[in-house]
Amino acid sequence: MPCCPYCGWPDDDPVTTVSRHRSAAGATVWTRCICGSLQTRVQRGAASVVCARSRPAADPAATL
Ligand SMILES: [Zn+2]
């Protein structure tokens, strides 16, 4: 099972959904892990795939 490389939290269980954007190809979802790592997910049908992630709390301005 894919998980966060920084804290080991499973990708299947996003902690905080930051925002969600609809697009023609599906939806893009931004989530934040418990360690502060921001993740970009692409929704494909029932599955959401993490396609990018930041380092934990790398940007102080993004810590809300
Ligand atoms: Zn994490």
What is the domain partition of the chain in residue ranges? 1-57
Give residue 10 CA to ligand 1 midpoint distance, Å. Answer: 8
At residue 49, does pLDDT exceed 60? Answer: yes
As a whole number of angstroms, the distance between CA 27 and CA 48 comes to 9
Ligand 1 centroid, distance to 62 Cα (angstroms): 15
- Ligand 1 centroid – CA 15 distance (Å): 9
Question: How close is the Cα of 55 to the center of ligand 1, in Å?
Answer: 9
Distance 43 CA to ligand 1 centre (A): 20
Under 8 Å between Cβ of 18 and 27: no
Read off the pLDDT band of 47 (50, 70, 90): confident
Q: Is the pLDDT of residue 57 over 80?
A: no
